[in-house]
Amino acid sequence: MENQIGKNILRMKGNKKLNHMNNNNPYLDIDQQMVGDIYTSSQVMDNLTVLCDDFGARFSGTPEEQQAAKFIADTFEKYGLQNVGFETYSYAGWLRGEATLEIIEPIHKPIKCISLPYCPASEIESELISVGYGAPEDYQRLASDIKEKIVLASSASSPNLGRWVHRKEKYERTVLAGAKAFIFVSEHPGAGPETGSLQDDKAAPIPGISVSKEDGAFLTRLIERKGMVKLRLLTTDTNLPRNSWNIVGDLIGKEKPNEQIILGCHYDGHDISQGATDPASGMAIVIETARVLSQYAGNDLKRTVRFIAFGTEEIGLIGAYRYVDEHADQLDNIRFMFNLDAAGGKSRKGVVLHQWCELESFFQQAKKEMAIEMPIGQKVHPYSDHFPFLIQGIPTGHMGDAEAAPGGRGFGHTMYDTLDKVDLVNLRAGSSVAARLALRMANDPSFCPQRRSTETVQELLDTDPNLEGYRVAQKLTKHKNS
């Protein structure tokens, strides 16, 4: 019996050596320490619980957002990050007021609604028109009928279009068409109205509100059955200056301290919910990545890994834009910005590169070393904190699945995006992938991408189909300034 035990021990030792030889993973020991800690610790869920249950919505400019910022900064310091600090900035703030919507012809009926951020105070009576999915061809087809009316558009995207059409693109097409107001209809049953900003860092030119899928369906049927439907809309929101905060912390590289790998996510949510999945699950992953990298690789990083918690993303990526402006002299040193917005959701934990084909081989090699399922692909969009970096030519990507079909947010941006929707298994998976990738980006001498030229960036902005919403926004800006 003792001889058999001894043979088993020798066999296990031999297998361990064989695994080390066959794995060809230069970071195996650190990987095992980080992943083992992540999967045997509750820290990531504990931190998410504090963000959601103690600070609620963390809406831009509120005391709750500031309290969350302090918690993140304190946690960064507790985990051993250096240069931890607040970066305060001012912006065009917004406070929700009461919004009321009433059908006044051909029947009288109130409809529950909420204002969308940056909605102005207004009182409007006008006819309702539906643009269905609100695809570009819908606005083209109905161009002569939209002027002076209230436009109803679903949050869903046309299955025939091949891309996701963001709320802002639909709103801005509505404004350009000369409408009086915009109604955004949630595509998700039982979730109530879906919030989201109308503009970036400025008051919206016309009011915009949201209604539930069920009420949107009722309004659509009423148009189909009765023809002309007239509505009265009253909004009482306030646009006013406010302050917000970015929080920054570093793990300083030992060989190339000026070169930076940035991991970031915003921590502000919308005022109607905890924003547990979007964005707080991603913020918790940023914090967890900082914890394990600091503990197990803090003395082994060649490049600096910077962790950023951005404020005021939900109303226009303001924190990220302010960061890029304030750190203009450091942009040449950023090797990669990895956006972890909502990374603790249910999607596969892969890498979506923003049209950086030359970087794909690096991440494929990392995937091989890490021995995990990790989809890697190319797709870009302008609606999260990576975009201000992308505009500056900085290499960017986000955690997600480029192969996933375009779709809605689920509970995101509704009152039901609460802590109970987030699974610990997804938080752990996202944290594990983020930490292991950050280690490789910081240490691999071959990972040294440079900024794109202004001309190359402009070509991408002008031609990529998934940046059509950005182009529509630019068109509206020119229209307003003309």
CA–CA separation, 386 and 60 (whole Å): 19
Quick one: 331 and 449 in the same domain?
yes
Looking at 215, 236, 257, which one is the last position of a domain? 236
DSSP notation for 155-166: SS--TTTSS---
User: Does 470 fall in a domain?
Assistant: no
Quick one: 84 and 186 in the same domain?
no
Q: What is the pLDDT of residue 405?
A: 81
Quick one: 321 and 368 in the same domain?
yes
Quick one: 152 and 88 in the same domain?
no
User: Does 11 fall in a domain?
Assistant: no
Residue 136: CATH number of its domain: 3.50.30.30
Quick one: 223 and 255 in the same domain?
no
- pLDDT tens for the chain, 482 residues: list them: 445 444 443 444 444 443 444 469 999 999 999 999 999 999 999 999 999 999 999 999 999 999 999 999 999 999 999 999 999 999 999 999 999 999 999 999 999 999 999 999 999 999 999 999 999 999 999 999 999 999 999 999 999 999 999 999 999 999 999 999 999 999 999 999 999 999 999 999 999 999 999 999 999 999 999 999 999 999 999 999 999 999 999 999 999 999 999 999 999 999 999 999 999 999 999 999 999 999 999 999 999 999 999 999 999 999 999 999 999 999 999 999 999 999 999 999 999 999 999 999 999 999 999 999 999 999 999 999 999 999 999 999 999 999 988 777 889 999 999 999 999 999 999 999 999 999 999 999 999 999 999 999 999 999 999 999 999 999 999 988 87
User: Does 60 fall in a domain?
Assistant: yes
Q: What is the pLDDT of residue 23?
A: 64
Quick one: 345 and 220 in the same domain?
no
Quick one: 153 and 60 in the same domain?
no
Quick one: 88 and 217 in the same domain?
no
CA–CA separation, 270 and 412 (whole Å): 10
Q: What is the pLDDT of residue 15?
A: 44
User: Does 7 fall in a domain?
Assistant: no
User: Which residue range forms the structural domain that includes residue 291?
Assistant: 26-93+241-463
Q: What is the pLDDT of residue 407?
A: 74
User: Does 249 fall in a domain?
Assistant: yes
Quick one: 253 and 394 in the same domain?
yes
User: Does 293 fall in a domain?
Assistant: yes
Cβ atoms < 10 Å from Cβ of 277 = 29
Quick one: 52 and 118 in the same domain?
no
Count structural domains, the chain.
Answer: 2
Residue 356: CATH number of its domain: 3.40.630.10
CA–CA separation, 82 and 248 (whole Å): 9
Quick one: 209 and 320 in the same domain?
no
**Backbone phi, then psi, for 463, in 5-degree steps?**
-120, -25
User: Does 457 fall in a domain?
Assistant: yes
Q: Is 242 helix (H, G, I), strand (E, B) or coil?
A: strand
Quick one: 79 and 132 in the same domain?
no
